[in-house]
Structure 1
Amino acid sequence: MKLVIHGKNIEITDAIREYVNQKIEKAVNHFQNLTTEVNVHLSVARNPRINPKQAAEVTIYANGTVIRAEESSDNLYASIDLVADKIARNLRKYKEKRLDQKTQAQPKTAVVVEEVPVAPDLIGDRTPELPTEVVRTKYFAMPPMTTEEALEQLQLVDHDFYMFRNAETGEINVIYERNHGGYGVILPRNGNGHTNHKNGKTAHGNSATPEKSTAKG
């Protein structure tokens, strides 16, 4: 297993490196056959108004799947403990899902969904804030996948949304966690004001509709 440790506004000392190795190796010990690479990003916020200030982020690449967790606290070692526990839970969840898929005898059934309009306000009571500059750029592979597969990825990456390439339309979609429960999908609108559905037809309307919405389960 390849373990890479990065630091932002912090020196990665031998003591920190040893502690990260100890905690992460323990967290992934029972999942060595799934894990190919582990990236650990440690950071300390310079802005005194940011609290908690010390964060630990772990990204694991497991057989083409990305599993991610992030925790913050006032103490870097405490943040490492918290993120190690969370990544172990996410790995366990991923392994159990793989086993369920292998042992499932009956054909996979479609999820019953209901088409609802995209919420006009996706941020709820939160105050929208834009950074003054781009502070981080991420690149990642975007293999085609179904909405169900994208939902599984969303539940593993510890984010509120997940961007993916729809396997049936070839378009870039975004699946997100709704403030009031469940999930929604944001679809692009083509030039004539239509949205593509997975059956290859187009739908007419004044607003984009989610491809599907389903509850956590």
Structure 2
Amino acid sequence: MEIVVVGRHTEVAERFRRHVEDKLAKVSQLAPGVQRIDVEVTHEKNPRLADVAEKVELTVRAKGPVVRAEAAADDRYGALDLALDKLNERLRRAHDRRTRTKRRGDALNAAVPVAVEDTAPQQPAVEQDDDSDLIPHALGEAVEFHISGSPVVIRNKLHQGAPMNAEEAIDEMELVGHDFFLFIDKVTSRPSVAYRRRGWDYGVIALDTTCN
């Protein structure tokens, strides 16, 4: 299992890197197929945000869906502990989901033969234009840019997406801890967004790409 620690707007000391490796050593017990864990440490320079000045984001990459967790605190050691607690909970959910899916698949296989459809994700083609330097061209790559005349920063990131249904999209949304999840509906082939409404209620918005 590879652990990659990077800092954004901050330096990461070797002592903290070793601490991260010790803390993440047991992740493979909850996710045996994990290949790599990305650890991103961010420092917020605004003194008004001193209580959440250190943010740690953990991203587990395996053959299945990406699992992500992040947390902020006044020091990065505390932020790491908070993020790790969230990550472990989401890894347990992922394990439970795999168990449910396997049981469902075993039941279907026992009843009727199942045809396997190749749904390998396709990497989207990116057209070159005058703003090509603002477009990420590699999976996982992020490009940040400022809106002209504004302090607003936009972070543009490219993700790989496999067709799925709404239930699968909501499961993955919960795994990464976001309030929304962009996906391609495998029945309609429409770009869609699953989002959290309130409590345990969710919504899905789809785009009709045939409109003129």
* TM-score, with structure 2 as normaliser: 0.73
Normalized per residue, the structure richer in helix is 2
**TM-fit CA distance, 1:192:** 4.9
More displaced stretch, 163-172 vs 179-188: 179-188
Residue 15 of structure 2 is matched in structure 1 by 15
Cα distance between partner residues in 2 of 1:29 and 1:141: 23
Asked if 1:164 corresponds to 2:197, the answer is: no
SS at match of 1:11: coil
Task: Extract structure 1 runs of 4+ deviating beyond 3 A.
Answer: 104-108, 130-135, 189-193
Match of 2:160 among 117, 135, 141: 141
Cα distance between partner residues in 2 of 1:57 and 1:30: 20
Cα distance between partner residues in 2 of 1:25 and 1:14: 17
Cα distance between partner residues in 1 of 2:210 and 2:164: 24
**TM-fit CA distance, 1:184:** 0.3
Cα distance between partner residues in 1 of 2:87 and 2:199: 26
Residue 174 of structure 1 is matched in structure 2 by 193
Q: Sequence identity of aligned pairs in percent?
A: 31
Asked if 1:186 corresponds to 2:205, the answer is: yes
**TM-fit CA distance, 1:135:** 4.3
Go from structure 1 to structure 2 and tell me whether the alpha carbon gap of 1:189 and 1:132 turns closer, same or farther (over 3 Å shift): farther
Residue 150 of structure 1 is matched in structure 2 by 169
Residue 78 of structure 2 is matched in structure 1 by 78
* Relative contact order higher in (CA < 8 Å, ≥ 6 apart): 1
Asked whether the equivalents of residues 164 and 183 of structure 2 are also in contact (C-alpha less than 8 Å), the reply is yes
Deviations 1:84-110 (A, max 9, x none): 1211111111112212222345449xx
Go from structure 1 to structure 2 and tell me whether the alpha carbon gap of 1:132 and 1:169 turns closer, same or farther (over 3 Å shift): farther
* TM-score, with structure 1 as normaliser: 0.71
Alignment size in residue pairs: 171
Q: CA RMSD in A?
A: 2.3
Asked if 1:33 corresponds to 2:32, the answer is: yes
**TM-fit CA distance, 1:138:** 1.7
The one-letter amino acid of 1:34's match is: G
Residue 44 of structure 1 is matched in structure 2 by 43
Structure 2 residues not aligned, in runs of 5+ = 110-146
